[in-house]
Amino acid sequence: MKQMIEDIEVRAREELFININPIQAAGRLTPEAMKAIIAYGDGYSTCDWCGKPFRLDKIRRPPISEFHVELAKFVGMDQARVVPGARRGFQAVVSSLVEKGDSVIVSSLAHYTEFLAVEDVGGVVKEVPLNEENVITGENTAQKIEKVKRETGKLPKLIMMDHFDYMLGNEHDIHGVAKVAKDYDIPFLANCAYSMGVMPINGREMDADFLVGSGHKSFASPAPSGIVATTDEWADKVFRTTQTVGDVTGRKFGIKEVEMMGCTLMGANLIAMMASFPRVRERVKHWDDEVKKINYFIDEFNKIEGNKVLSEMPRKHTLTKVDTTGSFDKIAQTHKRRGFFFSDELKKRRIVGEFTGATRQWKLNTYGLTWDQIKYLTRALHDIAKKYGINVA
Amino acid sequence: MVEKAVEETFAALFALTDLRQIFRDTKPTYQFNKEQKRQIKEIIEKVRQSLDVIEKELIK
């Protein structure tokens, strides 16, 4: 592929290869988002028509203000803001609610940025253990809250729980956790980084106080982009406006929101997110088909002798962790390219996105692949297995 | 008028972006169905028309 500018190459892997990278699948742009980037790539491109009260989410041209209203409705919450990634959503909520020494409940499969958000304010992370199916339950969450209460004499200040986790793509008992949160009167943040934008999400039905989503993981948007949404009850706290006055100039910046650092996701990233929104709204209605495709793929994957699936079964999400220690890794032991033989074979068949060189445990994501591409992928894996003498049922 | 040429520049880029999407939908075998073949023809025609306008406005 030709160089685009000096040493920056054209990235054409989405045009040339089937990409099964676990984190890239649902962040692939729609054509509308690609066009938005062409037109709105300049730095402060969203600021052409910014007038009073001078805040990003109030801009009417392009219709950023309307987008915020629609976004909140789409996720079943009262108010929403766009942020530079889900991590900034965690940070905004944690920074508003948690003080030094406070405990925050998270999953044993929580993303590292949840840890960092808590550390940033001097809080203490307390992890809820998984059950035997690698799932977080309301019951385990309640037990952890009781433990924290016994050990610290105080209740945790916040519960942050993943709807689907990034390690296994398992669905966690978000409703059970929300109920426990209500019972203990602890605010509850549902981390929907792997669900908002690919499947229907309703924060009110989840009984969540805060929802966080990821634009670049699940909303067909460029990185960084994300969403934080909340109820009217909590909006004044998390979206509080600045009260600071300059001691020399007496300057005030009244409408700017402290946790958002004023304006949040400016320029091409936001407009691309808005441009993808109509398709995202439509595609969540077809999540069942995506689930059918991953389960078809897994059925075929499991026909290769020695293959295993580490995620919960049947699959409820397209992000899946698999184990090929009993199949492709056996070949890697004696192959001159070691584990890279598998990547080589995949690449020859125009497939990329597996963890290069890994032949034991690795993750994949089939989101957005057509049925033809899913079938091509399964045939390719069968072909590789047969080529190296691994039985395929 | 340069404005027309600028407009057609975007129109051509957007049409080519639609072609990118067809590559994405059909990779890695690129076996186009009837509808995709029709879309490809339409895109090529659109880009040609845009280039004609750009040439007329800027060069001729």
Residues 330 through 369 of chain A touching chain B, CB cutoff 8 Å: 349-351
Distance between A53 CA and the closest CA of chain B, angstroms: 32
| Nearest CA-CA partner of A229 in A204, A262, A265, A257 | A204
Helices (H), chain A: 13-16, 31-40, 64-74, 86-97, 112-120, 138-152, 174-184, 203-206, 215-218, 232-238, 268-283, 287-301, 328-334, 340-348, 371-387
Number of domain units in chain B = 1
pLDDT tens digits, A59-116: 999 999 999 999 999 999 999 999 999 999 999 999 999 999 999 999 999 999 999 9
Taking only Cα atoms into account, the Rg of chain A, rounded to an integer number of angstroms, comes to 23
* Nearest by CB: A15 against B10, B20, B31: B20
Does residue A298 surpass a pLDDT of 80? Answer: yes
* Nearest by CB: A18 against B20, B27, B31: B27
DSSP state string for A247-313 = TTT--B-TT-BTTTTSS-S-THHHHHHHHHHHHHHHHGGGHHHHHHHHHHHHHHHTTBTT-EE-S-S
Q: Does A54 touch chain B (CB under 8 A)?
A: no
Region B13-32: mean pLDDT is 98
The CATH number of A31-283 is 3.40.640.10
**Residue A343: what are its φ and ψ, rounded to 5°?**
-60, -40
* Pairwise CB contact (< 8 Å): B20 & A34: yes
Cα–Cα separations (whole angstroms), residue A99 to A9, A118, A119, A194, A218: 45, 9, 10, 28, 31
User: Cα angle at B26 between B25 and B32, to 5 degrees?
Assistant: 120
Which pTM value belongs to this model? Answer: 0.96
CA distance A380 to B33: 22
- Reading phi first (left if > 0) and then psi (alpha if -120 to 50, else beta), residue A280 is in alpha
Higher pLDDT, B1 or A227: A227
Q: pLDDT over 70 for what percent of chain A?
A: 100
Classify residue B32 as exposed, middle or buried by CB count within 10 Å of its CB (0-12, 13-18, 19+): middle
Reduced to 3 DSSP states, what percent helix, strand and coil does chain A have, rounded to the nearest 5? 40, 15, 40
Q: Which two tokens stand for residue A349?
A: 């068949």
Q: Does A99 touch chain B (CB under 8 A)?
A: no
Contact A2, B12 (CB under 8 A): no
Q: Which two tokens stand for residue A240?
A: 């509080």
Which residue of B6, B24, B32, B33 to mutate against A (max A Cβ within 10 Å)? B24
* Nearest by CB: A370 against B10, B20, B25: B25
Distance between B59 CA and the closest CA of chain A, angstroms: 24
Nearest chain B residue to A34 by CA distance is: B17
Question: Which residues from A are below 8 Å from B27, CB to CB?
Answer: 14-18, 350, 373
The CATH number of A3-27+285-387 is 3.90.1150.10
pLDDT tens digits, A300-328: 999 999 999 999 999 999 999 999 999 99
pLDDT tens digits, A5-52: 788 999 999 999 999 999 999 999 999 999 999 999 999 999 999 999
Residues 6 or more apart in contact with residue A119 via CB below 8 angstroms: A125
Q: pLDDT-based confidence at B46, cuts 50/70/90?
A: very high
* Nearest by CB: A376 against B18, B21, B29: B29
pLDDT of residue A302: 98
List the domain range (segments joined by +) for residue B50. 2-58
Q: Does A261 touch chain B (CB under 8 A)?
A: no
Q: Domains of chain A: which residue ranges?
A: 3-27+285-387, 31-283
* Pairwise CB contact (< 8 Å): A34 & B24: no
Neighbouring C-alpha atoms within 13 Å toward the C-beta of A360: 1
Distance between A31 CA and the closest CA of chain B, angstroms: 6
